[in-house]
Amino acid sequence: MKDAGAARQHVIEARSEDEADRKQAELIASGTARPNDLFVVIRRFALTDLAA
């Protein structure tokens, strides 16, 4: 049985660090996540990002 206070994991998909930070803050503000949870960010890149 897990401790109710244990950290949880959340996967965030984002195109930028700012977007990832915003999504993390939204999860915490909504009560879905806690500040001490683990956040894994999957970065998405558009073809235009790779051309630079």
CB of 8 within 8 A of CB of 36? no
pLDDT at position 44: 85
Predicted structure pTM score? 0.74
Q: Answer yes or no: is 27 within a domain.
A: yes
pLDDT at 42: 96
Residue 51 forms part of a structural domain: no
What confidence tier does 50 reach under pLDDT thresholds 50, 70, 90?
A: low
Residue 22, domain member (yes or no): yes
Total domains in the chain come to: 1
Using CA atoms, how far residue 49 sits from 17, 18, 39, 43, in Å, is 14, 15, 24, 12
- pLDDT by residue (tens digit) across 6-35? 789 999 999 999 999 999 999 999 999 999
Please tell me the predicted confidence (pLDDT) of residue 1: 39
**Residue 52 lies inside a defined structural domain of this protein:** no
Instruction: Examine the pLDDT at 37 and tell me if it is beyond 60.
Output: yes
Asked if residue 50 belongs to a domain, the reply is no
